[in-house]
């Protein structure tokens, strides 16, 4: 987001995306979704998300970013799969531009909830390439070609562009990604949805940097991942405390547990689970304080 006018941090209302693999009940994260359809994703910093309070109330994130000379660089979501997601792949920036898209899609998943035995599919087994993938789609055996990774609460997984991947049921994930929705669906377990096999096979990479990321204690917070497009950290603040949180690029705070407030020049913003507070400036600090304890993620696009 290129900044032309100074804008104080602001809270966004989540936008709920209906998905065939989603859930009808997103509690305890959300009491209501506003739809009777299955919801698979809560977009926390989607272009269509509305500012909840302050002088920008009612405006979309996209319109606020446009007035400031750019767009918000990160799309942050919470995923709620009740069924298997399709097996898919995303292009990198160069591949996406060659196909007429604005940018690629590199992402990461932070595991918020995980049932015993939950897994995600991340990458192809050794020796598997586009030819084997195409044949497995025809035979309905593609799941056998995937590396299935067991996951538990607190795991961070890097999903490099070009990585064939899928998410199974039994997890809730915080996804941080480039602001892009370019997805090539390779396989969908026979569900009657469009596949993008030709494009998907073109962008598959046999080897990527995808996998679990070891957290780093940074003195006051935990660095979950640091990559070209995003840095994600977790903060834990105990009762009746406050913390100054630095931002070296545009980003947001996402409430994970407990509650707190973010102090801004325009007043205070609530920081609660499943909600994002956008920090558009990327050149200053915000103060988070709590009376009963709060846990939150800081998602930043490096400058």
Per residue in 249-291, pLDDT (tens digit) is 899 999 999 999 999 877 899 999 999 999 987 667 899 999 9
For the chain, domain boundaries: 10-212, 216-300
- Please determine, for residue 2, whether its predicted confidence score (pLDDT) is greater than 60: no
CATH match of 216-300 with 2.60.120.10:
yes
Known binding-site residues for Zn(2+) equal 90, 107, 165
**Which residues fall in the annotated binding site?**
90, 107, 165
Phi, psi of 144 (to 5 degrees): -70, -15
**Is 185 annotated as catalytic?**
yes
CB atoms inside a 10 Å sphere around CB 209: 14
pLDDT at 196 over 70: yes
Residue 1 has pLDDT above 60, yes or no: no
Whole-model pTM? 0.95
Same fold, 10-212 and 216-300: yes
For the chain, what percent of residues have pLDDT higher than 90? 85
Give the active site residue among 103, 185, 275, 298. Answer: 185
pLDDT band of residue 15 (cuts 50, 70, 90) is: very high
Angle ∠(94,303,158) on CA atoms, nearest 5: 60
**Cβ count within 10 A of residue 20:** 15
CATH code for 10-212?
2.60.120.10
Q: How far apart are CA 212 and CA 110, in angstroms?
A: 10
Mean pLDDT, residues 50-58: 92
């Amino acid at each position: 987001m290129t900044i032309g006018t100074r804008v104080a941090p602001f809270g966004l209302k989540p936008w709920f995306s209906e998905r065939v693999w989603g859930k009808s009940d997103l509690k305890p994260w959300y009491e209501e979704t506003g739809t009777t359809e299955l919801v698979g994703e809560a977009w926390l910093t989607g272009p269509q998300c509305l500012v909840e309070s302050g002088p920008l109330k009612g405006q979309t994130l996209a319109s606020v970013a446009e007035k400031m000379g750019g767009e918000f660089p990160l799309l942050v979501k919470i995923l709620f799969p009740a069924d298997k997601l399709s097996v898919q792949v995303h292009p990198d920036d160069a591949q996406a531009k060659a196909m007429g898209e604005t940018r690629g899609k590199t992402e990461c998943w932070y595991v918020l909830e995980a049932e015993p035995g939950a897994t995600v599919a991340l990458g192809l087994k050794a020796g598997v390439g586009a030819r084997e993938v195409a044949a497995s789609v025809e035979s309905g055996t593609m799941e056998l070609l995937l590396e299935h990774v067991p996951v538990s609460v607190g795991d961070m997984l890097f999903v490099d562009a070009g990585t064939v991947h899928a998410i199974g049921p039994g997890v809730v994930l915080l996804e941080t990604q480039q602001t892009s929705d370019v997805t090539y669906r390779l396989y969908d377990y026979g569900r009657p949805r469009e596949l993008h096999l030709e494009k998907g096979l073109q962008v598959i990479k046999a080897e990527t940097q995808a996998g679990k990321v070891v957290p780093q204690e940074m003195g006051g917070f935990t660095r979950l991942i640091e990559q070209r497009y995003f840095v994600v950290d977790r903060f834990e603040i105990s009762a009746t405390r406050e913390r100054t949180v630095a931002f070296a690029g545009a980003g947001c705070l996402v409430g994970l547990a407990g509650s707190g407030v973010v102090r801004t020049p325009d007043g205070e913003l609530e920081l609660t689970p499943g909600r994002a507070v956008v920090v558009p400036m990327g050149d200053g600090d915000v103060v988070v304080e709590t009376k009963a304890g709060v846990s939150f993620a800081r998602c930043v696009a490096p400058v």
